[in-house]
Amino acid sequence: MSEHQFVISIKDGIVSMPLEMHKAMDMPRCIIIRQESRTNLWIVKIDSPFRYRLKRPISFIAHVLMGKPINKERILWVKNIKDDYAEYSSISNEFIGNYHIVNYHPYYYLMAIGQSNEEVSVEKFWENINSYHEHLDPAIQDCDARRVSEWLSRDIMKPMHARSFLELGCGSGRNLLFISMNIPDAEISGIDINPKAIEIARSNISSQAKSIRIGSIYDTKQFKDNSIDIVFTSGVLMHVPHYKVHGVVKEMYRIARLAVINFELHGPSHAFDYHRYPRNYEKLYASIFENSQISYEIFPKGDYRTAGTYSFNHALLVLKKELIITE
């Protein structure tokens, strides 16, 4: 396996990217690398560097007038196509190093490589981040996110007549809060790696909370088989590495008595994805659970349930473990 397959390498004025990423970008002749921070970069393809250069003076003036920083950027041309990677050349030797690739297609975020263990790296990132919207008080979160939580609790979960719920990666508890409002007698549990988010969740749902605690979604052994009616995630499996997601899904299935629900990012999976993994969850579940009752709905662009996903979509997967008898 080539060292270029899962990372972007920049050295000696050459940018080497995985061939799979090159193809996902529609094999562009030119790309731009833009500095986002001291260690991290953005990368995007462009159709014409000449038209792009004509637009840059306007953008430069706008940034100056608004007092925004002017980040460094470089235009690179494709040089070589190898068996498993593509090379782009630059007259500059800036940004030297190896980078993980976060897939925001058509944009790609490059993170300087530090921790090699993906799940540890991701959890450390979410544990220490302070300003992420999912960690804020639910009352001030995005209105589309609140609409999604209302819809999930009222239209998806309430008709199942479940009485206990566990959310993996619950953040500050927005989904759990709406469940508590729509299902007043529900027993509510949640796990999240971020201490501040858990503190907010506990304060908002104290009356119905059975267990809202700091913890890893990879450590759920304390929950017994078939012990909680519905086990669910919302925008969490999209941050679970490809080689770990099967284990998380199987644990959710083990714990759930009635159903597993995932509201997640739908899109093509790539080996180079890091920290953000679009998937087809219908295919993933079908490969793990045979003859199960799986429903899968992909929400189109313009739908509030797919807001903020760039060129991807959100999708809802519901796996029922048994027929649910309505009251």
Among the listed residues 152, 169, 174, 173, the one whose alpha carbon sits nearest the alpha carbon of residue 297: 152
Q: With bands split at pLDDT 50, 70 and 90, how would you rate the model's confidence at 78?
A: very high
Every domain of the chain with CATH number 3.40.50.150 lies at 133-320
How confident is the model over 102-115, as pLDDT tens digits?
999 888 999 888 75
How confident is the model over 28-53, as pLDDT tens digits?
999 988 887 777 899 998 876 655 55
What are the distances in angstroms from CA 30 to CA 48, 102, 104? 8, 19, 18
Helices and strands in the chain, H and E counts:
8, 15
Residues 272, 188: Cα–Cα separation, whole Å: 36
* 116: pLDDT strictly greater than 60: no
What are the distances in angstroms from CA 244 to CA 31, 224, 289, 296? 32, 21, 16, 21
pTM of the model: 0.86
133-320, what's its fold? Answer: Rossmann fold (3.40.50)
Choice between 57 and 16, residue whose per-residue pLDDT is larger: 16
User: What pLDDT does 137 receive?
Assistant: 81
User: What pLDDT does 119 receive?
Assistant: 78
Which helix (H) or strand (E) segment holds residue 57: the answer is helix 49-65
Positive or negative, the Cα torsion across 57, 59, 62, 64? Answer: negative
Please report the DSSP string for 58-88 in residue order: HHHHHHHHTT-----EEEEEEEEE-SSEEEE
Residues 208, 178: Cα–Cα separation, whole Å: 12
Residues 26, 12: Cα–Cα separation, whole Å: 25
How confident is the model over 138-197, as pLDDT tens digits?
888 889 999 999 999 999 999 999 999 999 999 999 999 999 999 999 999 999 999 999
